[in-house]
Amino acid sequence: MHLPILYQDADYVAIDKPPGLLVHRTQLDAYATEFALQTLRDQIGQEVFPCHRLDRPTSGILLFALNHERKIGAVLSKSAFKDMKTRLGPDQHAGAPLLGLRGNILKSHGSSNYVAIANALRIAKEVVTHDMIDSIGSEINQANALITKSNSENAP
């Protein structure tokens, strides 16, 4: 098995963990033979330390430290990142307006849960209440006017 490396520097390596792969050996499955930790260690030829875990059925980015100091730093900063994940997570910002259209259209992820849908509706209300589409169009027109003016002033 080869694990796709998404990022690597002197301190960390991030991989794309496929679903079905355990992060490390565990009593949850005494018969498992492949683990992200050992596979990555063998792949890059150096010891790795998981900074977090992903459940076996979960795919996603898995971060490993390449030394004990960075592992400790990652563990100590975990609560700050967890808070940031909560505040910036897809459940909180579950809808995004599609721009370049002449109407109010909000796109949400297909697997959104009830919290995400409620927040998408809140965002949709804000888009309509604050007339966001027209406001963005007006800002773009003002920016284009400034660019055109600047280009004509600087033309030979």
Kindly report, residue by residue over 132-148, the tens digit of the pLDDT: 878 888 888 898 888 88
Architecture, CATH, for domain 5-85:
2-Layer Sandwich (3.30)
Annotated domain spans of the chain? 5-85, 93-154
Share of the chain above pLDDT 70, in %: 87
Nearest to 14 by CA among 71, 78, 63, 59: 63
Residue 78: which residues within 8 A CB-CB, separation 6 or more? 51, 52
Q: Considering the entire predicted model, what is its pTM?
A: 0.52
Q: What is the mean pLDDT of the chain?
A: 83
pLDDT at 39: 95
Kindly report, residue by residue over 36-77, the tens digit of the pLDDT: 999 999 999 999 999 888 888 888 899 998 988 888 887 777
